[in-house]
Structure 1
Amino acid sequence: MRHQLLIILIALFSASSFAQNAPTDTVYNPKIIYTGMPSTYEIAGIKVTGVPNYEDDIVIGYSGLNVGDFIEIPGNDITNAAKRFARQGLFSSIQIKVEKMYGDKVWLEFALKPQPRIAAINYHGTSGGERKDLEEKLQLMKGNQITPNIVNRAKQIIKAFYSQKGFGNADVRIEQTPDLSAPGEDIVDIYVNKNNKVKVHKIYIDGNEVLSDNAIQRTMKKTNEKGKLINLFRQKKFVESDFQDDLNRIIEKYNEKGYRDAKILSDSVVPYDDKTVDVYITLEEGKKYYISSIDWVGNTVYPSDFLDYVLDMKPGDVYNQKILEKRTDPNKGDDDNIPNIYQNQGYLFYQLIPIEKNVHGDSIALEMRMIEGPKATINNVIINGNDRLYEKVIRRELFVKPGELFNKQDLIRSAREIAQTGHFDPENMDIRPEPNAENGTVDIIFDLESKANDQIEVSFGWGQTGLIGKLALKFTNFSIKNLFNPGSYKGLIPQGEGQTFTISAQTNAKYYQSYAISFLDPWFGGKRPNSLSISAWYSRQTGINSSFYNRRWMNSGYGYGGMWGGYLGNDYYQSTIEDAYDPNKVLQMVGINVGIGKRLHWPDDAFTFQAEIGYQWYYLKNWDYLYYMNNGTSNSIVLGLTLARQSIDQPLYTRRGSIFSVNLQLTPPASLFSGKKDWEKLYKENTVESKKQLYRWIEYWKLRIKSRTYTPLTDPDGKWTLVLMTRADFGLLGSYNKWLKSPFETFYVGGDGMSGSYTYATETIGLRGYENGQFTPWTKEGYAYSRVGVELHFPFMLSASTTIYGLTFLEAGNAWTDVKSFSPFDLKRSAGAGVRIYLPMVGMMGIDWAYGFDTVFGRKGGSQFHFILGQEF
């Protein structure tokens, strides 16, 4: 410890000498004779030296001495003052000197040396991520003072940090070296030797009869023996805090089985070797209890029979304290437990206290004492932390409003709706009621943290004719009413209304071009949750000249497989430029859609309904890539109807809830209005002219059903929740007239599911573990598909700026060339793992590795990598 305490008391004579011969002149630096009797002096002055950055008055205040005080020299007054300085921890050297004396007056000097300040901090033996976490925890910053107490605290924090990671034997050393270039400052070096992780060798349990050793160890989630196959995917490191949690879990397990008196008699952790410890637990199980009766007291809103039904416990049942807590505790229970039923009716001040009224033998009589209290009315709804949206845009999403009765379900729904806007970090939202029991009101506080979610997508891909570039701008907080009011702009665009405006361009030079623009107002008119969407797009692409393929074939000498290998040959770029472009093979598409959506109140207010009308124009010239049509112009007018329900808690890392949608698209039966034509004859003629007549107006119906569910496997309100996601969807593309199957809007199934530049007017459906389009190659266009899957999501980073999570999945699906062939259980299987990364300016990205187990059109899926851009439903 560097702190020094040096007290120099200087006096000229002993107290007896002063009594007999009082000085008549000023004596400087008097010498103290400690063997003499103390004399009393009045402090005539105090001088502070050595600490220019401190105010003299503040330093003098630390000492407890003041001018005018009477002190004894020698004596305890000055010694106590020095101790007071030491307790401050601000000074590395403390000297209290008697500067001079005159008669019975004394002048003191406080000669101090401040603790050094931090010149720099160096970490040794830590990784970059660990260093960042330690910096946040230690809060040691350049320029701050460093004291022995701060050093000791830092050691404790670092050891605790590594102990939580399983390094219970970590050694921490902190050294200070004076910085020669900056007097009064020290360079701080923090040395960490993590040593080996401490794991659990054996767990010894004594006193248990009801639960076996294995059953108890399964109850312990974080403290597990190494070397056991059953613990292969469980934590084996020993962490003290996790061990204490596991001891509580053991007691909870006994309580769940009716053993209310169970307790841990003793527990200890003993080192087995340098890397492992043995854990010893001694239990007392007690006896098993049953419920003899349940009586309700104080209930007037709901009858006792109804409360018995909600409680789901009855006389004769095992006294299961876990169920009792879930049904009676508002912070631990289910959404439909008793407190929530009351709070959803406005009874915010409601209290329910289960009392063990009578314990006789192995029976317990429960008395459920209730204080219903008055209904609470919402007084104020306060929104903090919003600097992105006009406040009315947030308030219109809320289901809690001033003057209405408090409803907990509405509060939870409001939190979900705010998270769904994407403008605030769902991980850092603090939404809470602040009740006022005196007047029966409650204030609702929304503490929000804004986050940017506009996106700039710049991406590149590789197609048959070279590099494909894409630029997309997505503004999620657009304000169209301020478009011509530059003074209201925030940045380059008008913002604040929560509208979405997207513009994108994708090109491969002269081979492929695509442009799109869209606008969405989720509250069209601003008074009702009715949405308006408008979108338009144009694309033009050319085919590949046959000489390009011929050259690849000739150069490879290996047939079809060698042709694709030839793409990577030395003359790839030259031959692409010379041979690939074919202006006589063209596909052009133009489309526009207008949609109106409405939030429904039945079956519940999570349902929405949307109707849209769209027009599409197709122009084809020698387009060999579609089976039914190669030349001509086609048109379609499409009515789309969508019924959807969404109840997820947040869009990025969803923990719970579901998404479901049914979409039906219909075109008018144009063949009924085209006069009497022999459609079968035109179809069988199979000429350019006959196809132009067949497909002048496209007619079809298209049904798609999609669903996802999210189930938390660990604490749903925790930050690192494991989530099980299930998915099931299918699509059908049918026709009114069997001779008029639509050449467009088919399903392109297989691979990553991203729309590329060569999907030829189809809808892409991902099926990992197989190549893009492997299920629907040319001549095998998809008119039906089915896909099911299950994914396990586990988070790595959840913050306002970045979301990263991993996933493992099982997936299965298939495609069919006709609706009549649809067989939803004839599926091809795959499995794999991946990662998803969300960045506000880019959106969702990811990569998956998958293995397809089955063979499709002569090719096994096998090992495949898939790159993901965008969030698919």
Structure 2
Amino acid sequence: MLKRIVVVYLFLIFSFASLFSQEESPVISYSGKPKEYIIAEIKVTGDLNNDPNILANLSGLKVGQKITVPGEEISDAVKKYWEYGLFSDVKISAEKIEGNKIYLNIYLQERPRLSEINFIGLKKSEIEDISSKISMMKGTQVTPYLVDRAERYIKEHFVQKGFYNTEVTIVQRDDPDNPNHVFLDVEVDKKEKVKVRSLRFEGNEVFSDNKLNRFMKKTNEKGKLKNFFRTKKFVQEEYENDLKSIIEKYNENGYRDAYVVYDSISKNPDNTVDIVIGIDEGNKYYFGNITWVGNTVYPGPYLSEKLRIQKGDVFNQTLLEERLYMDDDAVHNLYMNNGYLFSNIEPVDVRVYNDTVDLEMRVYEGQQATIDKVIIKGNTKTHEHVIRRELRTKPGELFDKSELIRTVRELSQLGHFDPENINPVPIPDPDKGTVDLEYNLVEKANDQIELSGGWGGGMFVGSLGLKFTNFSVRNIFNKEAWRPLPTGDGQTLSLRAQTNGKYYQSYSFSFVEPWLGGKKPNSFSVSLYRSIQTGTSSGYYYGNPYSNIYGGYGYSSYGYPYYGSYYSPLEEDPDEHMKVTGVSVGFGKRLSWPDDFFQFYTQASYQRYDLKNWIYFLMQNGNSNNLSFKVMLSRNSIDNPLYTRTGSNFTLGLELTPPYSYFDDIDYSSEDLSDSERYKWIEYHKWTFKGSVFKPLDNALKLVLMAKVEGGFLGYYDENKKSPFEKFVLGGDGMSGYSYYGSETIGLRGYENASLTPLTDGRQDGNIYNKLSLELRYPLTLQPSATVYGLVFAEAGNSWSEFRDYNPFGLKRSAGVGVRIFLPIFGLMGIDWGYGFDEIPGSPDANGGNFHFVIGQSF
């Protein structure tokens, strides 16, 4: 009996571990004579949230194990529990001892779990940022480590934002409604931002203080006009990066030995710092002889020509790296585009004398890599054959970096995947000389719905449009493919209807197959459309209907007439109508010469006009037919259709009709000809040109400059048989809610819609136009769910009736700002505010400040 009491007493000594925190591992000492026992049972007790068997295993003790009491096994078990950091109390005791068998009881008090975090002193947006960083979810065990980590992360977060003296206090209090649960109150006092009061340089002679200050992007003095748009807060990490930027600029100008000798940061009572930076500029160096070793595929002189660095040029380490690896035409890309995936070029200084550095380019070519497998991942809706037919990298071919980049571009152009997340991953196998290519894609919704309705002018106006951009015709009769529509083959199906009752109706259907036959990138398209426009009672006419298309009588975006800025009741007049029926068929082909960015497109279309007492065109009564043929040559190399960063897009088009007046033996100068006779078959030739170039202005490829030029000319075969419908309508947002039937609507922001279109006898008569645009864009978000970017623009343009009046320099100028939003289900939308600088004769209110809404188009 006495023996058992002694043993139990010794185990009570072991339980002193509960007096120590996790941060202070207990130092255990024993007294008494050690004796061996066999563990017969291990029981875990306490207020537990986890399985006792799992908690018992954490001790490292097992039933049947021999242990010494007192001994290291028990103390090691206690230490393990403390090291896990999950328990606030640990006790190990012997419930009983029978002979050499011992029955252990492990008492554990688990640390409390989190009920909720309450942030004090932070804004909602700041709380969201902090919560994502500290990652403490409800139900998480609250350990000292997690609390310390949360405090550290919060401080680091605000230090990065310039709040250098942030104080964080975390208080833990019990949750009365949940046993062993706690609330954490996190109080954050950001204090004021630490700013730079003075920034001074010492030892610099090559660059002035102002110049060096410009090299520092994130560390700038406050109170200086030159730094008005630059950050003045002091952030240690950004400051260290700026120091590196200074040395990089020295290196780029030949001072390869330049370094920061010292820098001192002095804190001031007003929460600012004074910075002094000492620089040793060293000597200026120049490139000497450049030799190539290890190269067998390309001769040294050819590589030197591609390097474009000559002996005597200022030594520029950044330029050297760009010309070797980073530029599109970099030397290393010669190898990468020819299968040498494992190649490498290492520039080595072999001789430095006076101010000259001789370089030896050590080339490791390796063996050519052949593409083994091409793996497609992430296509949840688009069928794999639609993707694979766009690939420029196919199994069995040599690896080609340029074709890999081109493939990414082609997949972006499909519009079915998020262009920002197309991620090709090469998986090389140097032993086999092969590489697998894994294309990781993220599908994005790109079908679009247009549904609108409203009440105006005493009538209901509504439209419904559906555009399915990844349709599958071959699966129409496959019931399993309707989810809710058959999709995945990359075809485009569009349906649209618009009506305001008896006065205006419009219906259209179009279908595009981008790979006719499925083997070649030859597109096929077909469209059908029908519109009906009735007249209004003559009692509602007011003044000259075309004195100003938007200031007198015109057409709203819904297609019905209005008067000035107010609507008037309309009455159907069966004596006035215009009915148009049309069909077109097109065929496009991707060319391989001059390069495979070129495309050729041809289209045949037919329109039939039925007019009765329709006073708004040169032709007012009768039927007219338009059989036209269009050819277009285009080159499109833009990288991303939603937010373009690089590339260009040029289009040259010609649309023409047969020259009926040359062979029909009709004297069209005769005033006795009726409209039906004169315009039975419309004739014209229409030339258009559009070109745009995109150039990124920063290394992050976010700030993009777009430059665009366009123009058009509408000609005729007989001046007495000019087309009554084909015109260029210039000005405003560029949207033609009301169809002008053959006319092309061109936007010029800052002016009212159509206000830059010349009038002849009160009718729009724009036969020539040209326009110039500059646009600076910056993205706000580039997510699959929404692409949003802001822009500033400057543009100029004008239109003329006759070629003799054409003046390419007599342009109307404007400038402004805007935003574009692309939502997959609705397409592209936007709003611009533009200011027109030039007055329009006869329309004094056409220029000035104007808002423009954009739907389904981009300037």
Within a 5 Å distance, the mapping from 1:31-430 to structure 2 comes to 32=13, 37-41=31-35, 42=37, 44=39, 45-50=41-46, 52-67=48-63, 78-100=74-96, 106-272=102-268, 276-329=272-325, 333-430=326-423
Within a 5 Å distance, the mapping from 1:494-533 to structure 2 comes to 494-533=486-525
Deviations 1:738-776 (A, max 9, x none): 222211121111111112126465221111001111112
In the TM superposition, what is the alpha-carbon distance from 1:169 to its structure 2 partner? Answer: 3.9
User: Which residue is 1:823 aligned to?
Assistant: 807
Match of 1:671 among 661, 664, 670: 661
What is the alpha-carbon distance in structure 2 between the residues aligned to residue 32 and residue 190 of structure 1? 39
Deviations 1:671-698 (A, max 9, x none): 2243232x2233xx6xxx5333221211
Where 1:181 maps in the other structure, the secondary structure is coil
Kept in 2, the 8 Å contact 1:832–1:850? The answer is yes
Deviations 1:553-581 (A, max 9, x none): 9xxxxxx98999xxxxxx999x9574455
What is the alpha-carbon distance in structure 1 between the residues aligned to residue 774 and residue 421 of structure 2? 28
2:757 aligned with 1:809 = no
User: Which residue is 1:681 aligned to?
Assistant: 670
Q: Could you tell which deviates more after superposition, 661-670 or 510-519?
A: 510-519
Where 1:63 maps in the other structure, the secondary structure is coil
User: What amino acid sits opposite 1:619 in the alignment?
Assistant: D
User: Which residue is 1:536 aligned to?
Assistant: 528
What is the alpha-carbon distance in structure 2 between the residues aligned to residue 275 and residue 585 of structure 1? 78
In the TM superposition, what is the alpha-carbon distance from 1:94 to its structure 2 partner? Answer: 2.7
What is the alpha-carbon distance in structure 1 between the residues aligned to residue 400 and residue 157 of structure 2? 41
TM value normalised by structure 2: 0.90
User: What amino acid sits opposite 2:485 in the alignment?
Assistant: I
Kept in 2, the 8 Å contact 1:38–1:72? The answer is no
Deviations 1:310-340 (A, max 9, x none): 11112222211111111112xxx11101011
2:737 aligned with 1:756 = yes
TM value normalised by structure 1: 0.89
Q: Could you tell which deviates more after superposition, 536-545 or 189-198?
A: 189-198
User: Quick one: structure 1 residues 551 and 413, their matched pair in 2 at CA, closer, same or farther if it must change by over 3 Å?
Assistant: closer
Q: Which runs of 5+ in 1 are unaligned?
A: 1-11, 13-20, 554-559, 565-570
Kept in 2, the 8 Å contact 1:548–1:576? The answer is no
Within a 5 Å distance, the mapping from 1:553-568 to structure 2 comes to none
Query: Once superposed, what is the RMSD of the aligned Cα atoms?
Result: 3.0
Kept in 1, the 8 Å contact 2:457–2:568? The answer is no
What is the alpha-carbon distance in structure 2 between the residues aligned to residue 729 and residue 252 of structure 1? 42
User: What amino acid sits opposite 2:253 in the alignment?
Assistant: K
Where 1:769 maps in the other structure, the secondary structure is coil
Where 1:393 maps in the other structure, the secondary structure is helix
User: Quick one: structure 1 residues 111 and 266, their matched pair in 2 at CA, closer, same or farther if it must change by over 3 Å?
Assistant: farther
What is the alpha-carbon distance in structure 1 between the residues aligned to residue 763 and residue 11 of structure 2? 112
User: Which residue is 1:768 aligned to?
Assistant: 749
What is the alpha-carbon distance in structure 2 between the residues aligned to residue 179 and residue 456 of structure 1? 50
Match of 1:482 among 475, 494, 506: 475
In the TM superposition, what is the alpha-carbon distance from 1:66 to its structure 2 partner? Answer: 4.2
User: What amino acid sits opposite 2:658 in the alignment?
Assistant: P
Deviations 1:586-637 (A, max 9, x none): 22221111101000111111111011100011122222333x2222221111
User: What amino acid sits opposite 2:853 in the alignment?
Assistant: F
Match of 1:690 among 670, 674, 677: 674
What is the alpha-carbon distance in structure 2 between the residues aligned to residue 767 and residue 186 of structure 1? 62
What is the alpha-carbon distance in structure 2 between the residues aligned to residue 755 and residue 151 of structure 1? 61
User: Which residue is 2:699 aligned to?
Assistant: 715
User: Which residue is 2:854 aligned to?
Assistant: 868
User: Quick one: structure 1 residues 572 and 393, their matched pair in 2 at CA, closer, same or farther if it must change by over 3 Å?
Assistant: closer
Kept in 2, the 8 Å contact 1:26–1:102? The answer is no
2:839 aligned with 1:855 = yes
In the TM superposition, what is the alpha-carbon distance from 1:391 to its structure 2 partner? Answer: 0.6
In the TM superposition, what is the alpha-carbon distance from 1:550 to its structure 2 partner? Answer: 5.2
User: Which residue is 1:492 aligned to?
Assistant: 484
Kept in 2, the 8 Å contact 1:625–1:760? The answer is no
In the TM superposition, what is the alpha-carbon distance from 1:552 to its structure 2 partner? Answer: 14
Deviations 1:626-655 (A, max 9, x none): 3x2222221111101011111111111111
User: What amino acid sits opposite 2:593 in the alignment?
Assistant: W
What is the alpha-carbon distance in structure 2 between the residues aligned to residue 284 and residue 277 of structure 1? 23
Q: Could you tell which deviates more after superposition, 514-523 or 429-438?
A: 429-438
What is the alpha-carbon distance in structure 1 between the residues aligned to residue 813 and residue 157 of structure 2? 43
In the TM superposition, what is the alpha-carbon distance from 1:86 to its structure 2 partner? Answer: 1.9
Q: Could you tell which deviates more after superposition, 732-741 or 536-545?
A: 536-545
In the TM superposition, what is the alpha-carbon distance from 1:149 to its structure 2 partner? Answer: 1.7
Where 2:751 maps in the other structure, the secondary structure is coil
In the TM superposition, what is the alpha-carbon distance from 1:123 to its structure 2 partner? Answer: 4.1
User: What amino acid sits opposite 1:660 in the alignment?
Assistant: F
User: What amino acid sits opposite 1:681 in the alignment?
Assistant: S
User: Quick one: structure 1 residues 644 and 767, their matched pair in 2 at CA, closer, same or farther if it must change by over 3 Å?
Assistant: same
User: Quick one: structure 1 residues 297 and 105, their matched pair in 2 at CA, closer, same or farther if it must change by over 3 Å?
Assistant: same
Match of 1:637 among 627, 632, 636: 627
Identity of aligned residues (%): 48
User: Which residue is 2:823 aligned to?
Assistant: 839
Q: Which runs of 5+ in 2 are unaligned?
A: 17-28, 555-561
User: Quick one: structure 1 residues 188 and 815, their matched pair in 2 at CA, closer, same or farther if it must change by over 3 Å?
Assistant: farther
User: Quick one: structure 1 residues 745 and 271, their matched pair in 2 at CA, closer, same or farther if it must change by over 3 Å?
Assistant: farther
User: What amino acid sits opposite 2:798 in the alignment?
Assistant: N
Kept in 2, the 8 Å contact 1:812–1:827? The answer is yes
Deviations 1:845-870 (A, max 9, x none): 11111111111124251111111111
User: Quick one: structure 1 residues 347 and 464, their matched pair in 2 at CA, closer, same or farther if it must change by over 3 Å?
Assistant: farther
Kept in 2, the 8 Å contact 1:435–1:441? The answer is yes
Where 1:210 maps in the other structure, the secondary structure is coil
Where 1:680 maps in the other structure, the secondary structure is coil
In the TM superposition, what is the alpha-carbon distance from 1:416 to its structure 2 partner? Answer: 0.5
User: Quick one: structure 1 residues 235 and 589, their matched pair in 2 at CA, closer, same or farther if it must change by over 3 Å?
Assistant: farther
Kept in 2, the 8 Å contact 1:24–1:103? The answer is no
Match of 2:576 among 572, 581, 585: 585
Q: Could you tell which deviates more after superposition, 280-289 or 28-37?
A: 28-37
What is the alpha-carbon distance in structure 1 between the residues aligned to residue 102 and residue 276 of structure 2? 66
What is the alpha-carbon distance in structure 2 between the residues aligned to residue 168 and residue 26 of structure 1? 57
In the TM superposition, what is the alpha-carbon distance from 1:190 to its structure 2 partner? Answer: 3.9
Where 2:795 maps in the other structure, the secondary structure is strand
In the TM superposition, what is the alpha-carbon distance from 1:733 to its structure 2 partner? Answer: 1.1
User: Which residue is 1:454 aligned to?
Assistant: 447
In the TM superposition, what is the alpha-carbon distance from 1:264 to its structure 2 partner? Answer: 2.0
2:780 aligned with 1:784 = no
Aligned length: 827
Deviations 1:803-822 (A, max 9, x none): 11111111111111124433
What is the alpha-carbon distance in structure 1 between the residues aligned to residue 382 and residue 12 of structure 2? 75
